[in-house]
Amino acid sequence: MNLIIWLVVGGLIGWVASMIMRTDAQQGVILNVVVGIVGAMLGGWLLSPLVGVGTVNQGDFSVMGLLLSLGGAIILLAIVNLVRRGSVR
């Protein structure tokens, strides 16, 4: 059951991040899930030590944990856009 919640929350986080970064038209459902999960891991490595809160991947299902996961997904999409297009957006 935890895996299903992890995939659904990862998909929602990836979708919101793609809406913020305006890449939603280029991505499908599977890529949104991947971006959400990898972004949560990235947020856990980069942002979590700064704030002191875990991410969704670390079992912290709170508003701050969701925001850290979203921040990691936005950072991931910014890096991908920078490599592919030469600009963050």
pTM (2 decimals)? Answer: 0.82
Q: Of 51, 57, 52, which Cα lies nearest the Cα of 36?
A: 57
Q: Which residue blocks in the chain are alpha helix, DSSP H?
A: 2-20, 29-46, 48-51, 63-85
Average the pLDDT over 44-60 and give the result: 77
Query: pLDDT band at residue 88, thresholds of 50, 70 and 90?
Result: low
Cβ pair 49, 31 in contact under 8 A: no
Q: How far apart are CA 3 and CA 47, in angstroms?
A: 23
8-31 pLDDT, tens digit each: 888 888 889 989 988 877 778 888
pLDDT score recorded for residue 89: 67
